[in-house]
Amino acid sequence: MSAYYSLVVLGLCILTGYAGQISIGHAGFFAIGGYLSALLTTHNLSAHGGPVVSGLAAMGILTRRPDLYGGELLTVHPWPACILAVFAAVAVAYAIGGPVLKLKGHYLAMATLGFGIIVYRIVLGTELVGAADGIYDVPAFPLLPGIAVSGKSSLRVMNYYVAWGFVILGMVFLMNLVRSRVGRALASIHGAEDAAEAMGIPTARYKLKIFVVSAAFAAVAGVLVTHYNGGIGPSESSVMKSVRYLAIVAIGGMANLWGALFMSLILNYLSLRGYFGSFDDAVFGVILILIMLFAHEGLLRRQLLDQIRGAVIRRGGGDDP
Amino acid sequence: MNLLSVRDVSRRFGGIQAVDNVSFDVPHGAIMAIIGPNGAGKTTLFHLISGFLRPDRGSVVFGGAEILGLMPHQIAAQGMARTFQQTRLFPKMTVLENILVGRHLHSRGGFVACMLHLPFTRREERAVREAGREILEFLGLSGQADAEAVRLSYGQQRMVELGRALACEPRVLLLDEPAAGLNMRETAEMGTLISRIRERNVTILLVEHDMSLVMDISDEIVVLSYGQKIAEDVPSAIQRDPEVIRIYLGEGDA
Ligand SMILES: Nc1ncnc2c1ncn2[C@@H]1O[C@H](COP(=O)(O)OP(=O)(O)OP(=O)(O)O)[C@@H](O)[C@H]1O
Ligand SMILES: [Mg+2]
């Protein structure tokens, strides 16, 4: 499961580390993805008999399955639910990204934080999505015939591979992007926005697009985690989750996809296993503070290796100037 | 035929009229210089032409089309490249990567195509890199291709910035004090480089304080003072213009 969370971290890494646009609201996109797919795949429509419902059922968009008490549930199939959920997160990212990405630095951080808080409060205050209880009994997600995302212990090994498949796919997409013309353009926006603009790069549009891509990664992760866990609760949309993702990107070296992946796997694993106990959230908060204080560019950054190598050579060389 | 026409352009900052009703034309293939004392409004004028600032009044026609009100990247796409008075290289990127950003307008791969690494983006990337290496060769910086750009000597950084603008293959190139902070040898090299750029069929508009450089390479000079154009002529005439001598050269800058 820490693999799925890595998708959020990778998406945030490209937004914040490479393109230089901070977000403390990514748990919001994760929650939009997770909650929508949970709601659509659990909300029983069999009571609404109308022609729309039967039409959708005939198209295969709705699906029937037995509920726990022997009755029958008519819900949206996980595939259209997933597509709709990710699409919704993308639409929200487009809508808020336009105005919000005009802000820089602290202001952008505050605005995305605000977005995260709004999503959290909405989730917490909405009866339809279970308020403080969240949504449970979310079915498995049959990705392909024979392959499903589910937390069932009988499917554990398969889900291990499925999760890694997603991470590898996400990593390949983002590595391709980083090494491309678009990746260079994003890095140039980070480095000197006015000069990037002078090179003909539509900086506002590029920032919006990478924000949307990054939100889509978070939403996909939200959908998958929800099906894997069989449910989602409001804590997934809390601000501390957003802080956690950002802390992992920072300790992973900011503009370093491999570092972010590595740190995400380790720290999420430790956290899910309960190694941080009741200090779980505090650990990530402290990591973020320490990095901002002492290693602005993140910890596992490319130059760090050079610096260490330099220090070793200087010591080993003795009379080197 | 004029490539660029600036008409009655004005811009005010609070109480300061930074650019005051300035008009001039830049013919195809010319090297045109703008000179004037500190604070005369030269950089502001560049910002107005390249879209980084909006003028209060006036019009800028580039290649026959009005470009006023367009975003800087749209103006760049029409074939205008510029450098900045304060070097604006991309940190954490190599010299070559800095130059490659300049090829942005000459490649097309979008977000999805690049994520999928489609065959056409691969071909494009090869072409982009080849063009980048060519520029480095032109600048004589091939040996530094993989060095971090902001670690080069100041003079070389200015060269990289110029190369990055050149990589855009602009029709007109705006250079804001390309020789500022350079020593005499580097200034001479910069002068040669600018002349060689003109030979590549690029029209050049130049702001510069180094008088010998300006007199050497310019075809025509516009003199600004307190935002107003006070003279426009060939270098030899500007050197003899009493008004210019009083306002500009008389201030000890010559
Ligand atoms: N963004 C701004 N806000 C307020 N005033 C400005 C701004 N930019 C420039 N000015 C003022 O406008 C005037 C012209 O400035 P500008 O930078 O264009 O001069 P310049 O000719 O480029 O000078 P220099 O030779 O020192 O580079 C100056 O008085 C400056 O203080
Ligand atoms: Mg200036």
Residue B253 has pLDDT above 60, yes or no: no
Q: Which has the closest alpha carbon to A89: A135, A37, A129, A137?
A: A37
C-beta atoms of A191 and B92 within 8 A: yes
Q: Does B72 touch chain A (CB under 8 A)?
A: yes
Residue B151 has pLDDT above 50, yes or no: yes
Q: Where are the domains of chain B?
A: 1-79+170-254, 90-167
Dihedral through CA A274, CA A275, CA A279, CA A284, nearest 10?
-100
pLDDT digits (tens, 9 = 90+) for B198-233: 999 999 999 999 999 999 999 999 999 999 999 999
Q: Does B69 touch chain A (CB under 8 A)?
A: no
Q: Ligand 1 centroid vs B45 CA: distance in angstroms?
A: 9
Q: Ligand 2 centroid vs A17 CA: distance in angstroms?
A: 32
A23: which residues sit within 8 A by CB, 6+ positions away? Answer: A12, A15, A16, A108, A109, A112, A211, A214, A242, A246
Q: Which has the closest alpha carbon to A218: A117, A76, A88?
A: A88
User: For residue A72, what is the enclosing H or E element?
Assistant: strand A72-76
- Most confident residue range from A5-9, A249-253, A266-270: A5-9
Q: Is the ipTM of this complex over 0.85?
A: yes
C-beta atoms of B116 and A181 within 8 A: no
pLDDT for the residue numbered B254: 40
Beta carbon pairs, A and B, within 8 Å: 106
Distance CA A239, CA A297 (A): 23
Task: Identify which of B52, B103, B111 has the shortest CB distance to residue A182.
Answer: B111
Residues of A in contact with B110 (CB under 8 A): 182
Q: Which has the closest alpha carbon to A232: A220, A224, A240?
A: A224
B145-159: average pLDDT:
94
pLDDT for the residue numbered A319: 43
pLDDT digits (tens, 9 = 90+) for B46-76: 999 999 999 999 999 999 999 999 999 999 9
Whether A246 contacts A260, CB under 8 Å: no
- Residues of chain B with pLDDT > 90: what percent? 93
- Strand, helix or coil at B7? strand
Residue A320 has pLDDT above 50, yes or no: no
> What's the pLDDT band for B133 if we cut at 50, 70, 90?
very high
Q: Ligand 1 centroid vs B41 CA: distance in angstroms?
A: 5
pLDDT digits (tens, 9 = 90+) for B4-14: 999 999 999 99
Structure tokens at A53: 């419902």
Distances (CA, A) of B96 to A80, B86, B87, B140: 45, 20, 16, 12
CATH number of B1-79+170-254: 3.40.50.300
pLDDT digits (tens, 9 = 90+) for A189-229: 999 999 999 999 999 999 999 999 999 999 999 999 999 99
- Residues of chain A with pLDDT > 90: what percent? 56
Q: Does B131 touch chain A (CB under 8 A)?
A: no
Q: Which has the closest alpha carbon to A151: A169, A163, A133, A165?
A: A163
pLDDT for the residue numbered A123: 93
Residues of B in contact with A169 (CB under 8 A): none
